[in-house]
Amino acid sequence: MKDKKIILSGIQPTGTFTLGNYIGAVRNWTKLQEEYDCIYMIANMHAITVRQDPAALRKNTANAYALILACGIDPEKSIAFIQSHNRCHAEMNWVLSCSTQFGELSRMTQFKAKAEKHPDDINAGLFTYPVLMAGDILLYQSDLVPVGADQKQHLELTRDIAQRFNQKYGELFTIPEPYIGETGARVMSLQDPTSKMSKSDDNPNACIFILEDKDTIIRKFRRAITDSDTCVRYAEGKDGINNLMTIYSAVTNKSYDEIEREFDGKGYGDFKTAVGEAVADHLAPVRDNFARLAADKAYLEKCWTEGAQKAESIARRTLSKAYRKVGFN
Ligand code: TYM
């Protein structure tokens, strides 16, 4: 019997994290490590499903690793590693691919969106990406997977693949549950609050990157698209204000009622500046930690090497069992 539940999650190293990555996922990762056995991964194998400059990917991967530590992941408490350092992920991907249907992968909305965005590179990896992700989760017998709402469909597919494998070959995989935070599971674009905040947005004002300086962050919030009402309140049809209230609530822990009271009689301008300041102040320690950690290559390498060893020793056990179950000699 395991004494603590197992948590696994991952993030792609494609540039600096956005405020969406932070509020929707990484912020929860740091809280969970106090209570659970946590495993966190820089998903560089996922990143090559879209074209990457190799030198930039190498640098971004190291920076993403430094950044999860800067956000509070403690490599003494949690296992923190880089996906490609543990070959079990590639091997499990193959086994699970043979228990995944073409039809289910065709229904993945993220595949459809990315295929539309990169029509000249609809590669097989982009299509089978959710299988690699299922392997990431199932290799560690994970109970809970903290993610933003956009990953929910991939989690549902992971559960289907695990259940199908268990039925076909006999019990092996723990069936994981998504862990989606109540507030901030879907941080929206500052320029179009009906679509998700995303690092690939063409408009630089749409997205906050967590290492941006205070002035830039405040300026972007001041330019955020809202509505023609003037009252700060959470209500249907006020997508821009709702998004700003969600962000403000996530970084200050204030409830929507408290926020409405705080800005009673004040205009949107005051509110936007306050959100920008609260976000920038909240992220200031992350920026400082990152500057210190990113400069210490030896420490980072030590952490990710040890992390990969620990991750592999867990994953290898599950992979060996899966190999036996499917009939490999
Ligand atoms: P990625 O790198 O796109 O995003 C990392 C995490 O950030 C969340 N997120 C958001 N949350 C709220 N609002 C937003 N605007 C927003 N944008 C991103 C994502 O939901 C995610 O939790 N496939 C995954 C990485 C991955 C993974 C895994 C996750 C690989 N293997 C295994 C969990 C378990 C991805 O591309 O996330």
Pocket of ligand 1 contains residue 232 by CB under 6 Å: no
Give a yes or no: residue 13 inside a domain.
yes
Of 5, 17, 6, 77, the residue nearest 42 (C-alpha): 17
> Are 21 and 146 within one domain?
yes
Give a yes or no: residue 278 inside a domain.
yes
> Are 222 and 76 within one domain?
no
Amino acid at 320: S
Q: Got the DSSP string for 179-246? A: E--SSSSSPBPSS-TTSB--TT-S-GGG--BTT--HHHHHHHHHT----S-------TT-HHHHHHHH
pTM value is: 0.96
> Are 110 and 171 within one domain?
yes
Cα separation, 204 vs 186, whole angstroms: 19
Give a yes or no: residue 196 inside a domain.
no
Q: Which residues are catalytic?
A: 114, 196, 199
C-alpha dihedral over 197, 202, 205, 207, to 10 degrees? 20
Using the predicted structure, report yes or no on whether residue 71 has a pLDDT greater than 60: yes
Give a yes or no: residue 227 inside a domain.
yes
- CATH number for position 95: 3.40.50.620
pLDDT at 10: 98
Q: Between 2 and 288, name the one with better pLDDT.
A: 288
State the pLDDT confidence band at 39, using cuts at 50, 70 and 90. very high
State the pLDDT confidence band at 202, using cuts at 50, 70 and 90. confident
State the pLDDT confidence band at 3, using cuts at 50, 70 and 90. confident
Contact between 44 and 6 under an 8 Å Cβ cutoff? The reply is no
CA 85 to ligand 1 center in whole angstroms: 20
CA 256 to ligand 1 center in whole angstroms: 25
> Are 18 and 164 within one domain?
yes
Pocket of ligand 1 contains residue 24 by CB under 6 Å: yes
pLDDT in tens, 235-276: 999 999 999 999 999 999 999 999 999 999 999 999 999 999
pLDDT at 181: 84
Protein residue closest via CA to atom 5 of ligand 1? 11
Contact between 237 and 226 under an 8 Å Cβ cutoff? The reply is no
- CATH number for position 226: 1.10.240.10
> Are 267 and 125 within one domain?
no
C-alpha dihedral over 127, 128, 130, 132, to 10 degrees? -150
CA 25 to ligand 1 center in whole angstroms: 7
Mutation pick for ligand 1 pocket among 150, 152, 186, 251 (CB with most ligand atoms within 8 Å): 150
Using the predicted structure, report yes or no on whether residue 99 has a pLDDT greater than 70: yes
Q: Which domain holds residue 116?
A: 6-184+297-326
Q: What is the 3-state secondary structure (H, E, C) of 113-178?
A: HHHHHCCCCCCHHHHHHHHHHHHHHHCCCCCEEECCHHHHHHHHHHHHHHHHHHHHHCCCCCCCEE
> Are 18 and 125 within one domain?
yes
Protein residue closest via CA to atom 22 of ligand 1? 147
Looking at every residue in the chain, the average pLDDT score rounds to 96
Find the helix or strand (DSSP H, E) in which 40 lies: strand 37-42
CA 327 to ligand 1 center in whole angstroms: 34
Pocket of ligand 1 contains residue 145 by CB under 6 Å: yes
Give a yes or no: residue 1 inside a domain.
no
> Are 81 and 141 within one domain?
yes
> Are 97 and 214 within one domain?
no
> Are 222 and 178 within one domain?
no
State the pLDDT confidence band at 87, using cuts at 50, 70 and 90. very high
Pairing of strands 79-82, 144-146: unpaired
> Are 122 and 248 within one domain?
no
Protein residue closest via CA to atom 31 of ligand 1? 133
Total domains in the fold of the chain? 2
> Are 20 and 82 within one domain?
yes
Using the predicted structure, report yes or no on whether residue 1 has a pLDDT greater than 80: no
Mutation pick for ligand 1 pocket among 6, 11, 52 (CB with most ligand atoms within 8 Å): 11
Nearest atom in ligand 1 to the alpha carbon of residue 129 is: 23
> Are 279 and 304 within one domain?
no
Give a yes or no: residue 195 inside a domain.
no
Give a yes or no: residue 155 inside a domain.
yes
Give a yes or no: residue 252 inside a domain.
yes
